[in-house]
Amino acid sequence: MSPAVLQMPQATKTEQPDPIDQSAREREEAEIQSRKEEANFHYKQIKQASVLQSRNSLRIGFHAAALKEKNLWGILGFKDEHEAREAAGVGESTWFSTLRLAEQFKGVPEELFTAMRLTNAKALADLPDTKRQDREWLKAAADDSLKEFQAKVDLEMNGKTKDSDSKEVIRTFKKTMPASQMKAVEQGIKTYAVSIGIDPENTGKVLETAMVELNQGAGLVSTITTACQKIKEAKEFAHSGLSADEALGVLDRVMDEVILDFAHALEQAAHRGSEAA
């Protein structure tokens, strides 16, 4: 009788993960996490800049441009840019005008870009990229008054066409009427122009503004109402214990936003008017 042979159970072989695949997954996960952190950082800056404590609205444009460049809306949980803007509580005119400026000043460090006065930044955007990237010009846009800086830009341009200049075709507007009516119309144009601060000689601009105000009054009234509320809130906030510099920063930013809101309302009204025509 043959001796019994003890059979030892064979160990099941465990499959080891492919080190190459594992490394690729780790890199992918790290990249996703990095994008999430970057997106959250930019969006947090936008939300902080959207409240009255912010120095100005250029910070909104700087970080919105960063999100747009890498299309990070989805990773933040938003369907698109529009949804992200609304969730941040930023007005359409502020968002798109400052975002465009940020794109025009691409490569400029945040601290230099956001230090500029908004109106001066728009003026500087008319100059070539070499000037927009120049620290001396950027510093002047931050420090100079609006009038002083515009004079510098005009001198630099020396009659050259600006990006912000109208490219519209010039048309002649003629109407025949009795002399008495013509006199009344001309006087009305001058009186209205003076009342709203437009050059009476710029008849086309005066007539356009009058028609916009007449036909799109509801939109303009809404803008004016919102502007008054913003200014009221800014004044209350500025008297809540802020330093003089902080209070000035609050009022400066709000006035920038009000100017943008009015400009946007007028542009939209004029656009609707041209479509109706």
- Domain ranges in the chain? 27-104, 110-159, 179-276
- Does residue 200 register a pLDDT over 60? yes
Using the predicted structure, report yes or no on whether residue 218 has a pLDDT greater than 50: no
Q: Amino acid identity of 231?
A: I
62 vs 76: CA distance, rounded Å: 17
Q: What are the counts of helices (DSSP H) followed by strands (DSSP E) for the chain?
A: 13, 0
Give the model's pLDDT for residue 276: 46
Q: What is the pLDDT of residue 166?
A: 46
Whole-number Å distance between alpha carbons of 72 and 80: 9
Residue 216 has pLDDT above 50, yes or no: no
CB 156 within 8 A of CB 132: no
H or E stretch including 114? helix 110-115
H/E element holding 11? none
CA distance 121 to 146: 10
Residues written for the chain: 277
Is residue 94 predicted with pLDDT exceeding 70? yes
| Contact call for residues 46 and 29 (beta carbons, < 8 A) | no
Is residue 67 within 8 A of residue 235, CB to CB? The reply is no
**Concatenated DSSP letters of 126-163:** TS-HHHHT-HHHHHHHHHS-HHHHHHHHHHHHTTPPPT
pLDDT at 39: 94
Contact 164, 126 (CB under 8 A): yes
Mean pLDDT in residue range 267-275: 56
Ranking 50-54, 78-82, 185-189, 226-230 by mean pLDDT, the lowest is 50-54
Mean pLDDT on 51-65: 77
Taking only the tens place, the pLDDT of each residue in 127-181 is: 999 999 999 999 999 999 888 998 999 899 875 655 554 444 556 777 788 888 8
Specify the pLDDT at position 268: 62
The three-class DSSP label of residue 200 is coil
